[in-house]
Chain A
């Protein structure tokens, strides 16, 4: 499965990451190595092994609808790069030309 440089650039854009040309060139073969490594699982999986999305064979793991204490606001905002009026302050969402 070949990962192209364009695909890495596309993923970087979706992830809001700015990557240089050198980084794109370096990452493409690395991602490809990871994918081909994981793809080996498919070689082992036979038709009698059902696909799974979870490590433990459980279903219906529920909690009851009960309110638990939330965090104090100062702790909530402690990890925020910027805060204002009790809210997370984030950079402009749309580019000015949009």
Chain B
């Protein structure tokens, strides 16, 4: 077996990332694997539940036992076509599965059923926005295959290197897996990350996968090379030699690993060394990539058409029926939210990152103005969720209740400060907003006599301040407002109190 020999680390000046990208243009292509959320596996009826005890979701077919035959799961094909259509791909009218032959313990059959020269979807694109600029990332292909088993390495440090033996669980083997390959169109780590984020949102909107990177249901390999930047007007330099960093399992890792690889390659090129085409692994703890085990050359997989499966020949009608079933896609939704509610791209990104976009939309649907719905979820409720280490959606408050609180504020029954107390009560399980207002007696006091008495008392208690205000120092009224609010236990509108004080002191 050939092993890669990473070039000996001769003395290489440590380039900074900023220095590297000033002189070299990164050329990045991504291969993303998405485990489909079907109930059963790709070619057999075994369940796909994550976290089941080892080898409890396997059968003769996914173990590749003699006499078993695979049968294609229609839902997996449909989900793949959905992804292809959402990525603006052409859907093949005829294609076949292929056997990828390799001997490795993660596949019990000694081959993986995949697609090779006849992928189901080809030639698409995905629009990705970074800092307000939209980039169109080309999609080379989307194909369907089966996932592999999971190995647990025993001995040494628990990694494959230095292990004494390995233990294999085949529950994951045979789960439908979609591979989405981009063109080498990506020119920055930020765009790579945004692409994966957008792809994840797309798959989530299509409900074809739970796309949980931490559970491995979405994972990403990054191909990275550098080429010298050329002056404007000059033709671009040819692509450099690329490396492939495998199994990036968070958005942050995608960005960090690519940044590291750019810096590392720039240092080698600066020192006059060559980049070795190889597979690399990213270590999340150190933030570095390391040379991996060299792969058998692609030709050694000895692909051939899978003789146990009939070809796929999806009709126009089938594809058009899938197209008609597509839900609203994230890009369409963003355009609609901007048009309908006047949100900015940044508003949407903020709400999306805070996990409140759905909730804001539901709150608007329940009657709240868009700006107020956004304000309460993004500021107050997202913070409450963070404090309780839950997602905003897990807070025990419904969008319709938030809409009611917004309404109570708008009609003057609550101030913002009182509304926060109402939220306290709802989150504490004391009932809906109206019940909490009644039970805690939280409504703004509009009883003029009570307010009037508090204003008089505050003026009487601080004659010096009252004189200053009478003398024209209007801003000196602050402590009096505070005193009245305190006397009213916060249940008054501060602006109204201020106006009343100024009026009473003849300074309005």
Contacts and interface: CB of A to CB of B under 8 A. Distances in A.
Interface of A: 13-16, 53-56, 58-71, 73, 76-77, 79, 84-98
A91 B160 CA distance: 11
- Looking at A13, A62, A86, the one whose CB has the most chain B CB atoms below 10 A away is A62
Contact of A70 (B58, B71, B160): B58
9 contacts: A15-B103, A62-B73, A67-B45, A87-B55, A87-B167, A88-B169, A88-B170, A90-B151, A98-B1
A87 to B, nearest CB: 4
B280 to A, nearest CB: 15
Shortest Cβ-Cβ A-B pairs, 8 listed = A68-B45, A53-B305, A65-B75, A87-B167, A62-B74, A59-B313, A86-B54, A90-B105
B238 interface: no
Contact of B168 (A13, A69, A79, A87): A87
B57 interface: yes
Nearest to B164: A92
B309 interface: yes
Given A13-B1, A58-B310, A61-B310, 16 more contacts: A54-B307, A54-B309, A62-B77, A68-B45, A69-B45, A70-B47, A70-B59, A73-B55, A76-B170, A86-B169, A87-B55, A87-B152, A90-B167, A94-B160, A98-B3, A98-B293
Contacts of A95: 1
Contact of A68 (B44, B56, B160, B300): B44
Q: Name A's interface SS.
A: loop
B265 interface: no
B120 to A, nearest CB: 12
A67 B46 contact: yes
B226 to A, nearest CB: 28
A92 B311 contact: no
B358 interface: no
Contacts of A91: 165-166
A14 B101 CA distance: 9
Q: Give the interface centre of B55, B307, B313 by most chain A CB atoms within 10 Å.
A: B55
Dominant secondary structure at the B interface = loop
Given A63-B72, A65-B76, A93 B160 contact: yes
Contacts of B104: 93
Interface of B: 1, 3, 38-40, 44-47, 53-60, 63, 65, 71-77, 94, 96, 101-105, 108, 151-154, 160-170, 293, 296, 300, 302, 304-307, 309-314
B1 A88 contact: no
B58 A16 contact: no
Contact of B74 (A54, A64, A67): A64
Contacts of A64: 74-75
B40 A65 contact: yes
A88 B55 contact: yes
Contact of B53 (A55, A86, A94, A97): A86
A85 B72 contact: no
A93 B169 contact: no
Nearest to B159: A94
Contact of A77 (B55, B154, B296): B55
Nearest to B149: A88
B58 A67 contact: no
Contacts of A85: 54, 167
Given A14-B300, A68-B44, A68-B46, A93 B76 contact: no
Nearest to A79: B65
A86 B398 CA distance: 44
B307 A53 contact: yes
A63 B71 contact: yes
Nearest to B98: A53
Contacts of B45: 63, 66-69
A1 to B, nearest CB: 16
Contacts of B306: 53
Contact of B71 (A15, A61, A89): A61
B6 to A, nearest CB: 13
B53 A73 contact: yes
Contacts of A98: 1, 3, 161, 293
A75 B309 CA distance: 26
Contacts of B108: 88
Given A53-B96, A68-B40, A93-B151, A88 B105 contact: yes
A94 to B, nearest CB: 6
A56 B308 CA distance: 11
Contacts of A56: 310
